[in-house]
Amino acid sequence: MISCYTFFELLCHLDENKEWGKNKGNVCKCSSVEILDDPFAIIETKLHYQTQRLKNHIPESQLIPGILKCLSDSNSIDDFYRSDFFDEKGQKRSIADCSKGAWDALNEEEGKYLDFVKKILDCIKQENYDINSEKDCYKIIEELIEGRVIDSKKNSTQPKNIRNKVFNLCYLYYSYMFERVKKLIINGNKNPDKNDYEDSCICLHLSLDKPFIFVTNDKGIYEATKNSTERLKKFGKSLSKNCYVFLGENELRENIKRIL
């Protein structure tokens, strides 16, 4: 399984370096795996949100197969952008519109991510938190999660026990952002990378109360996720059994007998 964000990121680089054949092949590999829907929509559904955004959301699993079919049938990038398809509800979709929508949404959300990361940086400075203190690190993450709890209470039709639900669903997401901020501070860098946004979204697919095996070739998200799970254990928080994080396929192969 891969995140829909991984798919759309690959799609956005389709014409990169004018290597149509290679880039097309990379995107078409997504045909052989299950693609996970937008984790924000999944979480809002689990938290029983009643928002217009959620009502208007079309699951990516209903869109991406059509996009992949058009891509497979295209001989050039121009052919691809001239294509259209019907989604699972029978609605005609334009590849050009889908691609533009993906670009626009990605740029907008990356901007929001950068703003949020800068706010975390400012907060750490203003509150004089010590990023070398695990207690302070955990407190920062809890405060970030509390913001989502407040939002969820406003939008959920079933707010009972909402804090615990939000913690399980969003801990790794907010902890990942904190880990990136911590790295910026350690390196003396005040300019966050917008490309970290997609990685933060991938973390939303990982819930603390459900088993998962997360394999990534990205050392940054690997280290952030490992640090996040280790911090949970230090503070006695529960983590579902059979939750694993591996750096690449080789590490997965080395541990496959242990986890099965």
Segment (H or E) for 36: strand 35-36
Q: What is the mean pLDDT of each run of 10 residues along the chain (260 residues)?
A: 87 81 92 92 91 85 91 93 87 83 84 94 92 95 95 90 93 96 90 90 92 91 93 83 89 87
Partners of residue 2 on adjacent β-strands: 35
Task: Identify whether the C-beta of residue 233 lies closer than 8 Å to the C-beta of residue 239.
Answer: yes
Q: Where are the domains of the chain?
A: 2-101, 110-259
Task: Identify whether the C-beta of residue 155 lies closer than 8 Å to the C-beta of residue 50.
Answer: yes
Segment (H or E) for 222: helix 219-234
Give SS3 for 243: strand
The reported pLDDT for the residue numbered 191 is 86
The reported pLDDT for the residue numbered 227 is 93
The reported pLDDT for the residue numbered 173 is 96
The reported pLDDT for the residue numbered 19 is 85
